[in-house]
């Protein structure tokens, strides 16, 4: 079984790699030198949130995802009934 310090080091390096992909748009690409994608942004937010890292990047990522949504919620109707795909 790996030592705890090895596991912690692995997670820290992984989180640093994810944070380094954060783009000015708020999104995250799947890999370096690629365009941001909603799916990779969502996974990056999950990873960073779980480990309590870089809340600002998480918030920017959530804002990016919100701009990528193609739905409109109608405030007067409960959310499960008020979705328009568009």
Read off the pLDDT of residues 15-65 as tens digits, 9 standing for 90 and up. Answer: 999 999 999 999 999 999 999 999 999 999 999 988 877 889 999 999 999
pLDDT category, 75, cuts 50, 70, 90? low
pLDDT of residue 76: 61
pLDDT category, 5, cuts 50, 70, 90? confident
pLDDT of residue 25: 94
29 exposure class (CB count in 10 Å sphere: 0-12, 13-18, 19+): middle
- In the block, which residue shows the tokens 């310090």? 5
Supply the angle between the helices 4-20 and 38-50 in degrees, to the nearest 10: 140
**Res 86 pLDDT > 60:** no
pLDDT category, 2, cuts 50, 70, 90? low
């Amino acid at each position: 079984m790996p030592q705890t310090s090895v596991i912690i080091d692995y997670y820290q390096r992984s989180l640093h790699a994810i944070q380094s992909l954060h783009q000015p748009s708020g999104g995250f690409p799947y890999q370096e030198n690629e365009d941001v994608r909603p799916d990779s942004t969502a996974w990056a937010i999950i990873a960073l949130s779980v480990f309590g890292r870089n809340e600002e990047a998480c918030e920017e990522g959530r804002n990016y995802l919100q701009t990528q949504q193609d739905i409109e919620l109608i405030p007067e109707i409960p959310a499960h009934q008020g979705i328009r795909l568009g």
